[in-house]
Amino acid sequence: MDANTPGITYLLHFSESYYHARHYLGWTNDLAKRLREHMNGNRDKCVLTHVIKENGIEHTLVRTWRGPLSTEKTLKKKKNNRLLCPVCNPKVKDYECELP
């Protein structure tokens, strides 16, 4: 898979912080499958969502962006998930969000 492979970048919002983490930003070409992996707390697929599940913290899909893997990389470099999150930042109004 290269940086131009089409897919979806997604943002998960945690119901409470786990140390410094309040969000998870990821990319996939199969959103439904990836969300199931997060919901199941599969440690091999995502250590962070595994740990938050073990600690009773819930997470919600709050935002998606269509685009290649490079979209995720660009957003991660900005290190501003809180500003991208419509739950944390009410100024974020127009966002694409697909539920599988």
Residue 95's SS3 state is coil
pLDDT in tens, 44-60: 778 888 898 899 999 99
Judge whether 63 and 96 are in contact, CB under 8 Å. Answer: yes
- DSSP symbol at 94: -
pLDDT in tens, 67-87: 999 999 999 998 888 889 999
Q: 52-89 as b/e, with b when 16 or more CB fall inside 10 Å?
A: bbeeebebebbbbbebbbebbeebeeeeebeebbbbee
The Cα–Cα gap between 49 and 24 comes to: 8
Question: Model's pTM, two decimal places?
Answer: 0.86
- Domains of the chain by range and CATH? 6-84 (3.40.1440)
Compute φ and ψ for 34, nearest 5 degrees. -65, -40
